[in-house]
Amino acid sequence: MSVDAWFDLLLAIVGGAVRVGTPFLFVSLGECLTEKSGRINLGLEGVLVFSAMAGFGGAYLSGAVWLGVLLAGLSGAALAMLHGLLCSLPRVSDIATGIALMLLGAGLAFYLGKPLIQPQAPQIPALGLGAWSTSPGVQSALAINALFPLGVLLAALLSWGLANTRWGLVLRMAGDSSDAAKALGYSVNGVRIAATTAGGFIAGLGGASLSLYYPGSWNEGLSSGQGLIAVALVIFARWQPWRCLGAALLFGGAGAVGPALQSIGVGGSTHLFNAVPYVLTLVILVMTCSPQRTIKGAPVELGVSK
């Protein structure tokens, strides 16, 4: 390959990292917030699919894309709140509830989204950060989803808020020592429900990014495991919002390798390229986890309380 071809490939991967990585970013931030409070929400896959449908439907019916984005967030929050409430019942496991939510979210989305498969909805605008360049390749690579800066801002906000605010402290206390939170008079379940709901809202924005930016339409195969990968990414990111950003971009890049190679004419099986993120996630999990010690940064109550 020539230098130009390599450059084009690199550009396509960088552009793709942001394009494909944006939903990963939102879902992993949502999961990070949830897990910091001491609960796992495996159901964010269901939240992602459901909110993608709701966001698309909202944008299509109202004609206003940001209304759709808001609706996606709210529907994600509603579904996640169900998770939070269910898990607060005695003897209800958060893992099992997450699985239930995956199935329920997908079922509801496919049911309600049936009439939304054909139409076109207004799309989230792209920010043309590549306007300085004359190269169309650079321009298209740097045309960035307007939700992405919002996600970066959110990562900063979460990172700062968890460390420096009273809310952040209470949330982390519920996740690290529910006894301490109880002793100070906070309702551990209340904190966890709030964190799960807020996490669902954030993950819902990721759903909007799927259906309203890239790929930018609604169909039943829209997400196949992105939500689950994002949940796994939080372990890799050691429960730190900034690292979630890095992990999301890494995975966006991995997901973009296949299409980027194809765009410059290197063929291969689409299906095998599509499997790359799953394999990568598994490899990363195997490398990060260890049976002997708990992972650094893991909330203490995670997986212990149940």
Interface residue list for another protein (CB under 8 A): 42, 82, 86, 89-93, 95-101, 103-108, 110-111, 114, 224-225, 228-229, 231-232, 235, 269, 271-272, 274-275, 278-279, 281-282, 285-286, 289-292
Question: What's the token pair of residue 120?
Answer: 């076109």
Judge contact between 214 and 19, C-beta under 8 A.
yes
C-beta closer to another protein: residue 10 or 285: 285
Taking the complex as a whole, the smallest distance from the CB of residue 84 to another protein amounts, in Å, to 13
Taking the complex as a whole, the smallest distance from the CB of residue 219 to another protein amounts, in Å, to 13
Residue type, 224: S
Taking the complex as a whole, the smallest distance from the CB of residue 216 to another protein amounts, in Å, to 22
* Other beta carbons less than 10 A from residue 133's beta carbon: 12
Length of the chain: 306
Cα–Cα distance, 245 to 216 (Å, whole number): 22
Taking the complex as a whole, the smallest distance from the CB of residue 40 to another protein amounts, in Å, to 9
Taking the complex as a whole, the smallest distance from the CB of residue 220 to another protein amounts, in Å, to 8
Query: How far is CA 138 from its chain centroid?
Result: 26
C-beta closer to another protein: residue 95 or 152: 95
C-beta closer to another protein: residue 128 or 297: 297
Is residue 205 classed exposed, middle or buried when 0-12, 13-18 and 19+ CB atoms within 10 A define those classes? buried
C-beta closer to another protein: residue 118 or 290: 290
Taking the complex as a whole, the smallest distance from the CB of residue 193 to another protein amounts, in Å, to 15
Nearest to 56 by CA among 141, 11, 120: 120
Residue type, 263: S
C-beta closer to another protein: residue 171 or 231: 231
Judge contact between 94 and 87, C-beta under 8 A.
yes
C-beta closer to another protein: residue 102 or 194: 102
Taking the complex as a whole, the smallest distance from the CB of residue 228 to another protein amounts, in Å, to 6
- DSSP designation for 153: H
Question: What's the token pair of residue 53?
Answer: 């449908």
C-beta closer to another protein: residue 108 or 150: 108
Nearest to 102 by CA among 26, 237, 203, 247: 203
Q: Which residues contact 122 (CB under 8 A, 6 or more apart)?
A: 59, 60, 63, 64, 65, 68, 212
